[in-house]
Amino acid sequence: MEWIIGCWVLIGIVIGWYWLKEKKLEKRGVPKGSLGWPFIGETLDFIACGYSSKPVNFMDKRKSLYGKVFRTNILGTPIIVSTDTEVNKVVLLNQGNIFIPAYPKSVRELFGKNSILHTNGSPHKRMHALILGFLRSAPLKARVTKVFENSVKLSLATWKDKNPIYVQNESKKLTFDVLVNTLTSVGPGENLNFLRSDFQEFIKGLICLPINLPGTRFYKSLKAKERLMKRMMTILQKRKESMNFTDEKAPINDAVDLLLRDSSESSEKQSLPLDSISGNIIEMMIPGDETMVTAMTLAVKFLSDSPVALQKLVEENMELKKRKTDSGEDYAWSEYMSLQFTQNVISETLRMANIINGVWRKALKDVEIKGYSIPQGWCVLASFISVHMNEDNYENPYQFNPWRWEKVEATVNNNFFTPFGGGQRLCPGLEYSRLQLSIFLHHLVTTYRWVAQQDEIVYFPTVKMKRKLPITVTSINTTP
Ligand code: HEM
């Protein structure tokens, strides 16, 4: 009997302590909201919404109770969630001086301290500019176009014999190998197979409990990272030995060249050790296994559900194909990028897919934005999904409507459209991603028609198709 009373007293104390904490936060001007239950906060509702067809419900419920910016407690973190475009903009633009990235412990530990995600200030600026310059350069785009075009054509040629095709799996095979090639010049073969299997083991641990004990998911991922690092160090060593660092005009063929050359040119204090370069290259492989794959798969999903948009896409792409067939010339990367309706399909896919649904940041000091107080040390989630799926920003937000982008003035960098983030951490792979998506869609819609089987999008922990999107393809007469 006594222990029952003891338990109730303890529960009372914890609830009372939480209540006082909430009152104190309100006094400090922290946005309204609730930290939920002791320890678990509002995580259960967050996850339940993540598994539903409308993950944005978590935000919408609280927005209607507390306003566009509210406090909550999810995944073990008290956090201020912003669904307000102006607040999001301030958070994104004040990278480094007020806000720094705040990723879960598993991500921090698996990436290591030299990851671009954890660097701030001038080392971050330097690394970001380097990668951006490389991924946006015309020679790189020309090379990626050749390599990716070739892979897409080879892959598509096998589809008709494999019905049904699982789009998610096929996209993964395409994007990962080409990204590894862009980064390291490693082509098909044993080395690539090892890199692929170790990478897949590594990435499984990114969202998990960071318990480093034999047998745990986290432990297996760390081991896979060690193997990846070893393999990558060998690639770097060999390249370093064969590189002529004195020839300033030597072409930069891949990210290995880029980072090794930069490291040799930097002062001793600034130069990156080989293990940091290896880590940076490994983390840049993630889009090849995750974000790009999801973007391609969801583009096919949305087009399957929107025959009118698909028809318009086919017309635009058939026209280009006819021009190229008649002239006998190769495709230039800029031709893929100038397909306007195709670009609108890509924008609409990214808006609705919300592959990265928002970014997590931590405040380095007390800050006030639009009257909302964010205390030092608090995390902020700048929610992109709430902005992308809000009917004040987009008419009928759940309708796949590529035509809406014809009316939007700035399609890429406006505050209402941030699939690639913004500010100093704006994704350097933005153009690279759009180019690959355009190449994929062009060859797909000018080669096949398809019928998609019933499937659903799952939003938690990452965006995926539940059944990997099975489709049945039939070849079309390719003479337009
Ligand atoms: C559809 C595909 C992609 C999406 C939706 C996407 C989205 C994003 C977002 C939202 C961020 C910002 C994260 C933050 O602010 O904390 C980011 C950063 C980054 N992305 Fe992407 N990305 C994509 C493809 C790529 C590709 C293909 C590459 C490389 C080849 C890439 C490399 C990076 C890097 C290195 C960063 C870190 C930038 C920094 O912190 O300075 N991404 N991406």
Mean pLDDT of each 10-residue bin along the chain, 480 residues long: 76 73 76 88 90 93 97 89 96 92 83 85 91 92 95 94 93 92 92 93 83 92 95 94 81 89 72 86 88 97 98 98 96 97 98 95 95 94 96 95 81 78 94 97 97 94 94 78
Domains detected in the chain:
2-111 (no CATH), 121-354+389-475 (1.10.630.10)
Please name the residues in contact with 356: beta carbons below 8 A apart, sequence gap of 6 or more. Answer: 291, 384, 419, 421
How far, in Å, from the CA of 291 to the mean position of ligand 1? 8
What is the Cα–Cα distance from 136 to 435, expressed in whole angstroms? 11
Beginning with the edge strand found earlier in the chain, give each strand of the sheet holding 470-475 in spatial order. 165-166, 470-475, 448-452
**CA 288, chain centre distance (Å):** 10
What is the Cα–Cα distance from 349 to 367, expressed in whole angstroms? 34
What is the Cα–Cα distance from 371 to 68, expressed in whole angstroms? 12
Q: Is the peptide bond before 287 cis (omega within 30 degrees of 0)?
A: no
Q: Note the pTM of the prediction, 2 decimals.
A: 0.92
- Residue 269: predicted pLDDT: 58
Of the residues 427, 434, 436, 463, which should be mutated to test ligand 1's pocket, given the most ligand atoms within 8 Å of the CB? 427
Could you tell me the end-to-end alpha-carbon distance of the chain, in angstroms, rounded to an integer? Answer: 84
In this structure, are residues 412 and 406 in contact, taking their beta carbons and an 8 Å threshold? no
What is the Cα–Cα distance from 288 to 178, expressed in whole angstroms? 8
Q: Whose CA is nearest to atom 28 of ligand 1?
A: 429
Q: Whose CA is nearest to atom 16 of ligand 1?
A: 359
**Count of residues for the chain?**
480
- Residue 449: predicted pLDDT: 95
Helix (H, G, I), strand (E, B) or coil at 207: coil
Alpha helices for 305-415 (secondary structure H): 307-327, 333-337, 340-353, 384-388, 404-407
- Residue 201: predicted pLDDT: 92
In tens, the pLDDT along 425-475 reads: 999 999 999 999 999 999 999 999 999 999 999 998 889 999 999 999 999
- Residue 267: predicted pLDDT: 62
How far, in Å, from the CA of 266 to the mean position of ligand 1? 25
**Residues annotated within a binding site for heme:** 427
Q: Whose CA is nearest to atom 29 of ligand 1?
A: 429
- Residue 409: predicted pLDDT: 56
Pocket of ligand 1 (CB under 6 A): 101, 116-117, 128, 131, 135, 179, 284, 287, 291-292, 295, 355-356, 359, 419-421, 425, 427-429, 432-433
Q: What DSSP character marks residue 383? A: E
What is the Cα–Cα distance from 373 to 383, expressed in whole angstroms? 17
